[in-house]
Amino acid sequence: MEWPGDESIVRDTPQKDITSREKKVACRYGRGCTHISDPMHQNRFWHPPIQRLNSRSKQIQVHVCHECGNQFQDLRELQLHLKRKTAWSNQGLVGCRVSCFVDNREWQEGHVIAYHKSGKHCVEFTSNKERRLFKMLKIAFYIIERGSQQSSSGEGEVKEAEDIDMENMAPLEDWHYCEDITIEYAHAQSVLQKVYEGRAQETGHKTAGHLCVTEEDRALAKQSKGSLLYGELLPRGVNKALGRGCLNAADARVVYDLGMGLGKVAMQAFLQFPHLARVYGVELSKARYELAALALRRLVALFPEAYCIAEEEPGRRTVLRARGGGGRELEFAAGNFFDTPRMEEVDVVLFETDVAQDSYWDLSILMHKMKEGARTLTYLDLRKMWEYPPFPFRQLPGNLPLSDRFPTSWSVQRGHHFFLWAKGAPSLGISPAEAQAQAQRG
């Protein structure tokens, strides 16, 4: 089986890439850009070439960035590379072109013209020339274009506005690393990039998950009242969602991905958190399941000494098992997630799927089976879907503002606001075991 859409991709030759990179602007979507075959787009933007790692030994030795394709011999160098992409310093933001989520309502583009001693940045918006002061750590924003090189004095080279108090300009401070980029994450995203053949960062509406869907899939979805609406949490989005400030997969043993698509999220969780005993993903589309199962076999082929296919029922389920002690398992299944077994054992449920209104009751029954303290991510607001009162979930405090966003295939830079919940737990800090103990005490 091959990935759909390969024939439409125009691949840069190495020689062409060397000359074109000097004249073009780097595309922010990297190799995942869905306009990569558009000649007009190619004339303006540079895309990293697909890295060909011919031998298995080279695949293992080289660590690859899923966003730009850069290769590193040292995993720690890749980790630093990933950190620097979104890192910023207070004074370093001066002169940058940014997009800000203003008042949690709309995105506006502008330039950062000053950093004040109060800890706020002054942003002048392009559309109306309005100036606003923001505590950048408190809002959602992303850097469109970095500013000019800062001088040694720490003052930006951008000419400051007259109404900015230059005497209170703050000195250069430490960098803010916006994400918790661990060595485990760096390893996981590199393996994903290899296993999915350079497609860990697919974006837009023409990804493999869109193009592979068959008429059989559509008929099955219609019969079961399911949804084939497709999109993916990107690796950085998964990293944030499973982090300590969100679903806290570090304190979990079992993770489920209901509506797994091509299985990227489930596989990343399995690779990034080696303490997880079981990761399970289920997908309604048989075509998507087959591509996910293919990825499992590729993972085994890449690391045969670490993993094996323990069980396989063609067209229905594939179970990868870690060799050695522990017997960790990553299972992909084809089927309806409403039939998901053993929900009472799950610590973390990823549910990035749309659900028809006439299926709200079934969803409520399914998620009611989750144990006390279990956490979940949902695409829709559970409160508006729940039909089995009382509502047993609490939204996590850090997830309440709309500025809490996660990079996705349909919104790479701005991200999408998913909902994070804990069942019966008053706060994220409580573990599933503690929640169960509290429930037993009354």
Whether 176 is in a domain gets the answer no
- Position 29 scores a pLDDT of 61
Exposure class string for 26-59: b at 16+ Cβ within 10 A, else e? ebbbbbbbbbbeeeeebeebbbbbebebeeeeeb
Residues 114 and 218 reside in one and the same domain: no
Residues 267 and 393 reside in one and the same domain: yes
- Position 428 scores a pLDDT of 43
Residues 266 and 408 reside in one and the same domain: yes
Residues 289 and 392 reside in one and the same domain: yes
Residues 325 and 264 reside in one and the same domain: yes
Residue 240 sits in which domain range?
A: 197-440
For residue 220, give both structure tokens: 């099955």
Q: Which residues pair with 316 in a beta bridge?
A: none
Q: pLDDT exceeding 70 applies to what percent of the chain? A: 79
- Position 251 scores a pLDDT of 95
Number of domains forming the structure of the chain: 3
Choose one of 129, 147, 165: the last residue of a domain.
147
Q: What sign for the dihedral angle of Cα 72, 68, 246, 378?
A: negative
Distances (CA, A) of 399 to 258, 341, 419: 21, 28, 7
Residues 48 and 101 reside in one and the same domain: no
Distances (CA, A) of 15 to 11, 21, 40, 50: 12, 10, 20, 14
Residues 118 and 205 reside in one and the same domain: no
Span 38-56, average pLDDT = 65
pLDDT digits (tens, 9 = 90+) for 130-172: 999 999 988 888 888 887 644 333 333 333 344 544 444 444 4
**Taking the model in full, what pTM does it have?**
0.79
Residues 320 and 379 reside in one and the same domain: yes
Span 10-36, average pLDDT = 54
